[in-house]
């Protein structure tokens, strides 16, 4: 049985459709990331699951029980959820232990203390039980916030950009810990982020949203290698876009021919090619591997990889391509290369009607 289910959920603020007909399930123990650009409805969807926003349309179930269906609306404190928000605000006047026990009402004091102790242990903060929030680093505070949400052993954890207040290094450390804590607890989790890399790092499945609608749901590699549309393909980083038309059953571009796929004869299409899919070939590579040749316009070292800007001659002003090569590779401006392509990372979609 799924832990959380949205069935045809829509939500509007006035005329703005913030969430549009979302159907989605989150399985037991699964970590699902809601990913998408700012304003696409991620927080609204999470708030609906938490019961912080009154449901307007559809149904929400937790563990098979209807939480909201337009008539009924179970209040947040009765939904067995743990919440962590971006401004996770611990109570400044309570020490770490009391912050964590705060959510554990209705059970006796010794049991409460034991639950808090074990939740703090899960996030490796048991030595800080007496400390006050101002004495902790941002990362430690975030771990306490996670412990506070986990302590009541909720059925479902809902996290809204929980690491966004942390600097890059701390962020990586805390999310690594959070991933292991959440997985070890076995609690189904929905986490909001607008960072594709963070989603890939954390998620069993990613739900990519745009303008209130789900664009694609799947494992990180499904979205990366089998994007459902141009939005999905371009959301995971820099991508080359080549405009073309289907002619005589083929899509001819300056980067060679592509299969027409689902496109019809005469259709305008867009070929999207990831920068790492383009290969700069050694001069002695077989002719059949060479699809085009291009001239280096600029080359930049980016750390783990280098980015080469290439100009490839075409019928008009020339095609400008970005090519990503692992490690340090800095050819001189004006140098010419033959170009190969990993076609599994090139995607054909209908051109946007704009």
Ligand X SMILES: Nc1ncnc2c1ncn2[C@@H]1O[C@H](COP(=O)(O)OP(=O)(O)OP(=O)(O)O)[C@@H](O)[C@H]1O
What is the contact surface with ligand X in residues (CB under 6 A)?
13, 16, 18, 36, 38-44, 194
Using CB distances below 5 to 8 A depending on partner kind, what does residue 18 bind out of Mg ion, ligand X, none?
ligand X
C-alpha pair distances (Å), 338 with each of 183, 241, 284, 311, 343? 46, 19, 10, 12, 16
Is 57 or 290 the residue whose CB approaches ligand X more closely?
Answer: 57
- Residue facing ligand X at closest CB distance: 43
Give the nearest distance from C-beta 167 to ligand X in angstroms: 19
Q: How far apart are CA 56 and CA 48, in angstroms?
A: 9
Using CB distances below 5 to 8 A depending on partner kind, what does residue 91 bind out of ligand X, Mg ion, none?
none
Q: How far apart are CA 191 and CA 160, in angstroms?
A: 6
- Residue facing Mg ion at closest CB distance: 43
Is 194 or 324 the residue whose CB approaches ligand X more closely?
Answer: 194
Using CB distances below 5 to 8 A depending on partner kind, what does residue 41 bind out of ligand X, Mg ion, none?
ligand X
Give the nearest distance from C-beta 51 to Mg ion in angstroms: 17
Is 18 or 159 the residue whose CB approaches ligand X more closely?
Answer: 18
Give the nearest distance from C-beta 38 to ligand X in angstroms: 3
Using CB distances below 5 to 8 A depending on partner kind, what does residue 194 bind out of Mg ion, ligand X, none?
ligand X
Q: Please, what is the Cα angle at 151 between 146 and 152, to 5 degrees?
A: 125
Using CB distances below 5 to 8 A depending on partner kind, what does residue 340 bind out of Mg ion, ligand X, none?
none
Give the nearest distance from C-beta 41 to ligand X in angstroms: 4
Q: Is 131 left (phi over 0), alpha (psi -120 to 50) or beta?
A: beta
Using CB distances below 5 to 8 A depending on partner kind, what does residue 39 bind out of Mg ion, ligand X, none?
ligand X
Using CB distances below 5 to 8 A depending on partner kind, what does residue 214 bind out of ligand X, Mg ion, none?
none
Residues 19-78 contacting Mg ion, CB under 5 A: 43
Give yes or no for residue 216 binding Mg ion (CB under 5 A).
no
- The closest of 176, 190, 192, 181 to 151, measured between CA atoms, is 181
Give the nearest distance from C-beta 149 to Mg ion in angstroms: 17
Q: Look-up: residue for tokens 């959440």?
A: 182
Is 54 or 107 the residue whose CB approaches ligand X more closely?
Answer: 54
- The closest of 156, 146, 145, 149 to 187, measured between CA atoms, is 156
Q: How far apart are CA 199 and CA 180, in angstroms?
A: 15
Is 87 or 288 the residue whose CB approaches ligand X more closely?
Answer: 87
Total residues at interface with Mg ion (CB under 5 A): 1
Q: How many CA atoms lie within 13 A of 64 on its CB side?
A: 2
Give Cβ neighbours of residue 231 (< 8 Å, ≥ 6 apart): 208, 210, 215
Give the nearest distance from C-beta 12 to Mg ion in angstroms: 17
Give the nearest distance from C-beta 181 to ligand X in angstroms: 24
The site for Mg ion (CB under 5 A) is made up of 43
């Amino acid at each position: 049985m799924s832990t959380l289910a949205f069935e045809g959920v829509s939500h509007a603020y006035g005329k703005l459709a913030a969430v549009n007909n979302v159907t989605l399930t989150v399985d037991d123990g699964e970590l699902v990331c809601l990913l998408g650009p700012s304003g696409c409805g991620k927080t609204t969807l999470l708030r609906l699951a938490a019961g912080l926003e009154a449901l307007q349309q559809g149904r929400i179930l937790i563990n098979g029980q209807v939480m909201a269906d337009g008539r009924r609306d179970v209040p947040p404190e009765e939904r067995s959820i743990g919440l962590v928000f971006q401004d996770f605000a611990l109570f400044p006047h309570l020490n770490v232990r009391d912050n964590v026990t705060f959510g554990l009402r209705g059970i006796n004091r010794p049991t409460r203390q034991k639950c808090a102790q074990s939740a703090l242990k899960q996030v490796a903060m048991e030595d800080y039980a007496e400390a006050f929030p101002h004495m902790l680093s941002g990362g430690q505070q975030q771990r306490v916030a996670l412990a506070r949400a986990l302590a009541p052993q909720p059925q479902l954890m809902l996290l809204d950009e929980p690491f966004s207040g942390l600097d890059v290094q701390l962020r990586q450390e805390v999310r690594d810990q959070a991933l292991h804590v959440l997985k070890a607890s076995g609690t189904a989790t929905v986490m909001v982020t607008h960072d594709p890399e963070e989603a890939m790092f954390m998620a069993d499945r990613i739900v990519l949203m745009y303008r209130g609608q789900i664009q694609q749901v799947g494992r990180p590699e499904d979205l990366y290698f089998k994007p459902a549309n141009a939005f999905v393909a371009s959301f995971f980083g820099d991508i080359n876009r080549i405009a073309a038309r289907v002619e005589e059953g083929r899509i001819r571009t300056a980067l060679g021919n592509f299969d027409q796929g689902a496109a019809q004869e005469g259709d305008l299409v867009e070929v999207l090619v990831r920068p790492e899919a383009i290969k700069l070939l050694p001069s002695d590579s077989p002719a059949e591997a060479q699809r085009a040749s291009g001239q280096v316009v600029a080359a930049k070292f980016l750390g783990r990889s280098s980015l080469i800007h290439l100009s490839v001659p075409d019928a008009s002003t020339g095609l400008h391509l970005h090519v990503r090569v692992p490690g340090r590779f800095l050819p001189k401006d004006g140098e010419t290369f033959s170009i190969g392509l990993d076609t599994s990372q090139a995607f054909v979609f209908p051109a946007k009607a704009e």
